[in-house]
Structure 1
């Protein structure tokens, strides 16, 4: 590593999206609206799952936890991003920057594991329907969710500890709108081989392993569905998995593009665009996909909409 004979850096300068000139307010308002819609839709999913007995089943319990992780994830990134848009960039302390990555890593890891848990639920429901109530008990659901969240907190904390041991001597410019691990490690003037190795080892059980598990479960699901004699039966089985498959493709597509096969260092705008899709749009797409493609969610929304409309009409009387 190249030695840098400069003073110790205690602050980073996040460049954000640079100077947007005349479209600053437009971009700010657009991103703010998307952020509010994402938070509202994910809160709505959690509320519907809590108050509707018809949604008290494993797939929706896992979906509510996925929505919770999306809320934590986007709330950590987007408010500061909106501020950077308004001011054209801003300073952040090194400790706060590393802490932001930790708070980013926890829900990201939890999301990978929760998506895998949802695939397990679909696999048991389709391949072992007679054993579904025995395997997917409420106790097992809670144990899975608690274990996944604890694993996310623990593994992210391990990376966080190694990041806090890095020294920074300049330059201190991060051409991004949040503190991701790659640009932070790149700015370090100390040996980063250990933190890079630890990050790779930690990434395997929370990114690659869930993806391999999801692939294996859907191979099993596909094998079972193809054995169903009736066309209607096969279509019904496929429809129960369609929303989850869409979320898996969307989530792992963006995650792989950013971390597994990232754009070159010269493609800064592409990197920011993918990160923007991952941090701003994906939290909005997930609940919308389930709302638009799931009849149980649609019925729950319609039921509560009718109740609210009746309450409003009675208040006017």
Structure 2
């Protein structure tokens, strides 16, 4: 434990996305543009849902919460990543690394659970419309948000308390562009196989179960819609389900591929490319997929723009 205590005062060095210095300016520009697009898209969607009364429904309330999580999610990693592109010292303090990992895990877990709850909302509104006002009341929606945040933050805190009391040794070089569990485990001096089982279990509960629930919900929704025989209803249901499934699949599959395999099978290059998808790309796409493919949102946007 003495080694672990000594390691607490030592900074980590983040390798970054690529190890080619001549690409830093170009990468900084690309990342900055993606960051700006994510912020503008999500802020616009949140304000539009708040201002337009036709969007004051449980579905759009959950969607606004997803946008808030997306803004916080991308703000956890991208600013430090972008700053390192233009900096000679690509370090992050021990405490800063722990905080970044905690916030990242909390937001990731919250988004995973929230996407599952959003599919439940679509299932109720189509399959049990008469019970929708009761099953998706304002109180229940608030309970959903609270449970997603509390469960993910407690899980993240447990991981941080255990992981960052382990002894870190060696070069202290993190072969990643931000601090997360798979990139930190190779730096631990002790055997982490038992802890990896805990990470796997957490990933299956927080990621795989909501993803399976989404697939099951939308399978049931599509069956019910096609039994109705309404061409317009079928088209609208397929559009809504496909947009949600696109975002969900991109997020869940990439995240599961990172958090459900032992660190001995990880490839730093592949991990960084996959991490770009679930930590940046999905949060840029979310507001545009949900708005551009949603007629109610587009009509609300036109009304607010006069």
**Same fold, TM-score > 0.5, yes or no:** yes
CA deviation after TM superposition for structure 1 residue 195, in Å: 3.0
The alpha-carbon deviation at position 302 of structure 1 amounts to: 1.4
1:175: which partner in 2?
175
- Normalising by structure 1, we get a TM-score of 0.88
Q: Does the CA contact (< 8 Å) of 2:200 and 2:260 recur in 1? A: no
Distance 2:127 2:89 in 1: 52
The answer on whether the counterparts of 2:254 and 2:277 sit within 8 Å (CA) in structure 1 is: yes
CA distance, structure 2, for counterparts of residue 262 and residue 195 of structure 1: 10
The offset of 1:173, in angstroms, is 1.2
In structure 2, the partner of 1:235 is 235
- Contact 1:7 1:170 (8 Å CA) reproduced: no
1:190 deviation in Å? 2.7
Q: Determine the structure 2 residue equivalent to 1:22.
A: 22
Deviation sequence 1:259-292 (CA, Å, 0-9, x none): 3369986743322122112222211100010111
Distance 1:141 1:192 in 2: 38
Alignment map for 1:119-268 (pairs within 5 Å): 119-260=119-260, 267-268=267-268
Contact 1:28-1:86 at 8 Å conserved across structures: yes
- The CA distance in 1 between the partners of 2:151 and 2:263, in whole Å, is 29
The alpha-carbon deviation at position 165 of structure 1 amounts to: 1.7
- TM-score after normalising by structure 2: 0.91
Distance in 1 separating the partners of 2:169 and 2:253: 35
Partner in structure 2 of residue 309 of structure 1? none
How far apart are 1:200 and its partner, in Å?
2.5
Over residues 91-128 of structure 1, what are the superposed CA-to-partner deviations in whole Å (9 max), with x where a residue is unaligned? 22223212211110001000010000100000011111
Q: Which runs of 5+ in 1 are unaligned?
A: 307-317
Aligned-residue Cα RMSD (Å) equals 2.3
Q: What SS does the corresponding residue of 1:13 show, helix, strand or coil? A: strand
**Is 1:110–1:148's contact at 8 Å kept on the other side of the alignment?**
yes
2:38 maps to 38
* SS of structure 1 residue aligned to 2:228: coil
Q: Is the 8 A contact 1:20 1:88 kept in 2?
A: no
In 1: Cα distance, 2:263 partner to 2:204 partner? 20
- Name the residue aligned to 1:50: 50
- After superposition, the C-alpha distances for 1:226-285 in whole angstroms (9 at most, x for unaligned) are 311233332233233232122112222322333336998674332212211222221110
Tell me the residue number matched to 1:304: 304
Identify if the C-alpha distance between structure 1 residues 232 and 261 changes in structure 2 by more than 3 Å, giving closer, same or farther: farther
Higher mean C-alpha displacement, 220-229 vs 97-106: 220-229
Tell me: CA distance 1:196–1:229, structure 2 relative to 1, closer, same or farther (3 Å).
same
Would you say 1:103 and 2:103 are equivalent positions?
Answer: yes
1:11 and 2:11 correspond: yes
Cα separation, 1, equivalents of 2:273 and 2:156: 24
1:197 positional shift: 3.1
Q: How far is 1:18 from its partner?
A: 4.6
| Distance in 1 separating the partners of 2:230 and 2:85 | 55
